[in-house]
Amino acid sequence: MSAPLLSIKDLSVTFESRYGVLRAVDRLSLTMKPGEILGLVGESGAGKSMTGSAIMGLIDPPGQISGGEIWLEGERVDTQPEIFRGPKISMIFQDPLTSLNPLRTIGDQIIETIRRHAKVTNGQATDRAKQVLTDVGIDPARLNDYPHVFSGGMRQRVVIALALVTEPRLIIADEPTTALDVSVQAQILDLLQALCRDRGASVLLITHDMGVIAETTDRVAVLYAGRLIEVGDTRAVLTDPQHPYTRGLVASTPSVDPSLNDEQLYQIPGAMPKLDALPSGCAFHPRCDSATSQCAMEQPQFFGERAACWLLDKKEQS
């Protein structure tokens, strides 16, 4: 087996506040293989975007990485993220309209990114910018257009081009299709898969949409209240989810089969807990219909290297 491309070991991200120390990411450990698309899924507040920002070194005070390590191809990332940001790790942010400077052409922005990370002439950078636009399906003749003249889907392609132009080994895609309609969303996801396959890059796809996970990823990691609660091959997790929260996410996803959508769509009761009011034990236990007294007192560890749930421990013992 090949060595992991990305290795996250016991990562914790905390914020100092008047309520005390708030833990947004709690001892997260995760690996990614070269060329893999890994989905990071969970409701808003689960810690998905915070994990991506930590990898990029974009945690602003009062937030900080308070524990753990991040490694990329055997090199420590979290101690000097600015060295890796761009050449080896890039990010596609949620909103392409706010990610692009409205006062500069897309060509200026792509060329600046290239010249910041590579010793090339302006002519060479321009040629590379045209090529990367072609790669993402944009006519290179539009190099001198401004962001506002593009549609939402085309702006997202420009943002993907910006992320690709430095030829990084890892691309973090933070909700890249949230503001797009279904047909454009499918085009963007197909584009990410093709670029990952053709360039050999890995993609960490952050989303709350299990449908996107099913269509795009090789493996999926489920977060809840900053903690990793389940991880595995996408097909295995979706067809046989082990954690009650994962089962709820799968059950609340509409089916493409109309006959299966006659009944009211399942909804997980309650809401994600606030960081200053995290429950003891398993953070999901107040919303779980299978919780026991042990769930309220003790935080479960992983059982069978698949999910962190006391129900699995009881299943193994029976």
Determine the average pLDDT of the residues in 35-59. Answer: 94
Q: How many CB atoms lie within 10 A of CB 187?
A: 16
How much is the pLDDT for 316?
Answer: 57
What b/e sequence results for 189-218 when a residue is b if at least 16 CB atoms lie within 10 Å of its CB, and e otherwise? bebbbebbeeeebbbbbbbbbbebbbebbb
Mean pLDDT across 247-270: 77
Reduce the secondary structure of the chain to three states and give it as a string: CCCCCEEEEEEEEEEEECCEEEEEEEEEEEEECCCCEEEEECCCCCCHHHHHHHHHCCCCCCEEEEEEEEEECCEECCCCHHHHECCCEEEECCCHHHHCCCCCCHHHHHHHHHHHHCCCCHHHHHHHHHHHHHHCCCCHHHHHCCHHHCCHHHHHHHHHHHHHCCCCCEEEEECCCCCCCHHHHHHHHHHHHHHHHHHCCEEEEEECCHHHHHHHCCEEEEEECCEEEEEEEHHHHHHCCCCHHHHHHHHCCCCCCHHHHCCCCCCCCCCCCCHHHCCCCCCCHHHCCCCCHHHHHCCCCCECCCECCHHHHHHHHC
What pTM value is reported for the model?
A: 0.91
pLDDT higher than 60, residue 258:
no
What value does the mean pLDDT of the chain take? 90
List domains and CATH numbers for the chain. 6-88+168-257+265-317 (3.40.50.300)
Better-scored residue on pLDDT, 254 or 212: 212
* Angstrom distance (rounded) from CA 48 to CA 164: 21
Is residue 150 scored above 80 in pLDDT? yes
The segment with the largest mean pLDDT, out of 137-141, 189-193, 263-267, 311-315, is 137-141
Give CA–CA dist 29/237, Å, rounded. Answer: 18
Rounded to an integer, the average pLDDT of 181-201 is 81
